[in-house]
Amino acid sequence: MTNNEPNFTLCSDSARTHVFVEPDALNYIGKWVSSLRTPPIVVIISDTTVAKLYGQRALASLATHCPKSELITVPPGDQSKSISHLDGIYAKLGKMRVPRDGMLLALGGGVVTDLTGFAAATWMRGIDYANCPTTLEADVDASLGGKTGINHASGKNMIGAFHHPRFVAVDPTCLKTLPARDVAAGLAESIKHALISDAAFLDWHEQNAPAIRAIDPKIMGELVTRNLRIKANVVEQDEKESGIRACLNFGHTIGHAVEKLSNYALRHGEAVAVGMVAAAHISMSKGMLDAPAVQRIQTMLQSFALPIKAENVNPAEVIEITLGDKKVKAGKRQWVLLDGIGQYTITDDVSDDVIEQAVNTVCAN
């Protein structure tokens, strides 16, 4: 039996989010909900694939501690982060008469955590929710920090709100059922966190590569905890991304562009891997990173089956899309670059030539 103590707690201006990383965490969510308070109803939101695997376990855990629990499912995939699926969720919450002190619980990957968080942010002007991520990308990134939202015809994540979960509960054993490509996509975000803030954590990825590839639950638990601590540390300093939180976008400027131009054939993490290679090349051109470090990054990404180039993507179109990036300030792109391994810098001082060269390097036509 586990105790009620979280591994750690994110404390920002508007949030306290307890983080639990523990094998079989799903069995304890009812206990963790009731250690906060006892909501009259807890509604799990999941996708149909994840609900089949873990829905009953989550409901059983809630049943022993909460008066009422329900499950709502959406189809798997990014198309569920839409106004129409959100509207479907509101309709069900209305039918269930979910009150102001009810609670939502996301069970799934980043699509489900973003969608559930936004439903919670807006239902009755904001109710509590918790995240139980089941993919590595969501374990190490999307589940913590309060970014919630849906997509719109004008762009991905265009409609959203900052609304922090009351807790995040990660069960690393869920990763055993995740396709290898999705595990790799999550590892890209883990490598990103190491590159921007923790050189020793990058060494750790190299030293523990065989256990990571084997999805050893103990090693994956440590990996998730270290990632979430890095992320919590950034969010605690800059909750609403008015400054340093932008460091978490390392690799995302060019990454988002190649993701879009691949028609989302690339996983988000795979596109970020390509974007990190481009950003590493830009950092090298500016004299902030040496060639062996760039090679080390590429070798590591490849060793975890991540791409370092985007196939069939037009470099000119990549550059065009980066101009429309959300991070453009006063017409200038903000670049998160590496100032050595484990340290980042944010600058708009990158010449068009340098960008073009880096984009050409990562685009294999």
Residues annotated as part of the active site: 125, 147, 189, 231, 241, 245, 249, 252, 256, 268
Contact status: 149 vs ligand GLY (CB under 6 A): no
Phi, psi of 169 (to 5 degrees): -120, 110
Number of residues located near ligand GLY, criterion CB under 6 A: 5
Among 58, 74, 121, 248, interactor with ligand GLY by CB under 6 A: 248
**Nearest residue (CB) to ligand GLY, 245 versus 256:** 245
Please identify, among the stretches 23-31, 140-148, 255-263, 347-355, the one whose residues bind ligand GLY according to the rule CB under 6 A: 140-148
Contact status: 141 vs ligand GLY (CB under 6 A): yes
Among 147, 164, 267, 268, interactor with ligand GLY by CB under 6 A: 147
Token pair of 202 as six digits: 């990058």
Contact status: 245 vs ligand GLY (CB under 6 A): yes
Contact status: 270 vs ligand GLY (CB under 6 A): no
What is the C-alpha separation between 193 and 199, in angstroms, rounded?
Answer: 10
**C-beta nearest to ligand GLY: residue:** 248
What is the C-alpha separation between 319 and 315, in angstroms, rounded?
Answer: 6
Collapsing DSSP to helix, strand or coil, 86 comes out as: helix
Contact status: 145 vs ligand GLY (CB under 6 A): yes
Minimum CB–partner distance for residue 93 and ligand GLY (Å): 25
**Nearest residue (CB) to ligand GLY, 10 versus 41:** 10
**CA-wise closest residue to 155 among 82, 59, 252, 61:** 82
Q: Do residues 244 and 162 lie in contact, with contact meaning Cβ atoms separated by under 8 Å? A: no
Q: Do residues 174 and 22 lie in contact, with contact meaning Cβ atoms separated by under 8 Å? A: no
Q: Which residues contact 301 (CB under 8 A, 6 or more apart)?
A: 188, 191, 273, 276, 277, 307, 308
Minimum CB–partner distance for residue 190 and ligand GLY (Å): 12
- Residue 260: what residue type? K
Minimum CB–partner distance for residue 226 and ligand GLY (Å): 16
Minimum CB–partner distance for residue 212 and ligand GLY (Å): 21
**CA-wise closest residue to 188 among 216, 222, 227:** 227
**Nearest residue (CB) to ligand GLY, 47 versus 189:** 189
Minimum CB–partner distance for residue 114 and ligand GLY (Å): 10
Minimum CB–partner distance for residue 248 and ligand GLY (Å): 4
Give me the half-sphere count of Cα atoms (radius 13 Å) on the Cβ side of residue 78: 14
Phi, psi of 329 (to 5 degrees): -120, 130
Token pair of 28 as six digits: 């304890």
Largest Cα separation within the chain, whole Å, is: 62
Please give the residue ranges that form the binding site for ligand GLY (CB under 6 A): 141, 145, 147, 245, 248
